[in-house]
């Protein structure tokens, strides 16, 4: 049985992950966290499972912590996880390059599964986009990435869209910093061959739509993933938590978890 803790358990994802973990006999939910100033601290998330201000204050040390919070909260969690020697599953998005480097450094001491998207379908999309970009390199195809999320999402573009852009750039052999275009307006001139367009829309309660277009004169290839429930991300995170428990220190992805 994996002893599990979930951060940000008052949020949409944290709450859902915690509830699904309680239904899974392979987990023992030992505690959940919220901000130190939250009125929930000390109260019960479920019978026998309380809210704590940090994982270090949970009486029974967890084996794995699942984190879908904010970049600042994740940064603090990394320090605690290193001190406690607990494994992490991180799905937080909007991280800076400095914060991503901190994840890499912490993974030298504890096992970490880090992915901007935990769903099986999206990770298969990552693989397909990689293969498509590799096959179509230098063949005159334009690449554009479109993503749609709910009105409450705070960061843009989504972590998944950024990952897709990174995959495309790597396989095309271009520098994403120089090639990325985030929206177009006015007389911008003809599209440059190495541009990678990344566009975001925010509306209603859309859980998450991502489409990567590979287009040339005469044809267009579209690779799309649409999430209709947050459960796909939550269940993916729980699958990752089971997989990473007991693993050696290192930085892992959902490719490792799913064996693809």
Q: Name residue, tokens 């999309």.
A: 125
* Catalytic hit among 3, 50, 82, 149: 149
* Catalytic hit among 28, 76, 127, 153: 153
Instruction: Give the chain's end-to-end CA distance (angstroms, integer).
Output: 25
1, 19, 5: which is closest to 52 by C-alpha?
Answer: 5
The helix or strand, by DSSP H or E, that contains position 150, with its residue range, turns out to be: none
Rg of the Cα trace of the chain? 19
Quick one: how many helices (H) and strands (E) in the chain?
A: 8, 13
Left, alpha or beta for 102 (phi > 0: left; psi -120 to 50: alpha)? alpha
**Catalytic site includes residue 149:** yes
Q: Name residue, tokens 């599209």.
A: 191
For residue 145, list its beta bridge partners. Answer: 198, 212
Q: Using CA of residue 226, residue 228, residue 234, residue 238, what is the dihedral sign?
A: negative
65, 38, 66, 64: which is closest to 52 by C-alpha?
Answer: 38
Distance CA 190, CA 242 (A): 49
227, 232, 92: which is closest to 148 by C-alpha?
Answer: 227
Catalytic residues: 149, 153
């Amino acid at each position: 049985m994996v002893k599990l803790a979930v951060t940000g358990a008052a949020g949409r994802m944290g709450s859902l992950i915690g509830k699904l973990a309680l239904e899974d006999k392979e987990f023992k939910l030992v505690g959940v966290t919220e901000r130190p100033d939250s009125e929930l601290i000390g109260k019960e998330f479920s019978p026998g499972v309380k809210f704590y201000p940090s994982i270090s204050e949970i009486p029974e040390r967890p084996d794995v912590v699942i984190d879908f919070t904010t970049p600042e909260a994740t940064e603090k969690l990394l320090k605690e996880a290193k001190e406690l020697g607990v494994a992490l599953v991180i799905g937080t998005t909007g991280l800076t390059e400095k914060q991503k480097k901190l994840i890499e450094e912490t993974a030298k001491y504890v096992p970490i599964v880090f992915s901007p998207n935990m769903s099986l379908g999206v990770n298969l999309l990552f693989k397909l986009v990689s293969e498509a970009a590799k096959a179509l390199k230098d063949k005159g195809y334009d690449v554009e990435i479109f993503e749609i999320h709910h009105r409450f999402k705070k960061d843009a573009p989504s972590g998944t869209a950024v990952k897709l852009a990174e995959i495309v750039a790597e396989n095309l052999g271009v520098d994403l910093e120089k090639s990325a275009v985030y929206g177009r307006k006015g007389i911008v001139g003809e599209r440059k061959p190495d541009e990678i367009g990344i566009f975001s829309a925010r509306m209603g309660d859309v859980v998450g739509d991502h489409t990567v277009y590979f287009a040339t004169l005469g044809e267009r290839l579209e690779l799309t993933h649409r999430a209709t429930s947050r459960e796909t991300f939550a269940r993916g995170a729980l699958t990752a938590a089971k997989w990473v428990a007991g693993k050696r220190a290192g930085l892992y992805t959902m490719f490792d978890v799913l064996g693809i």
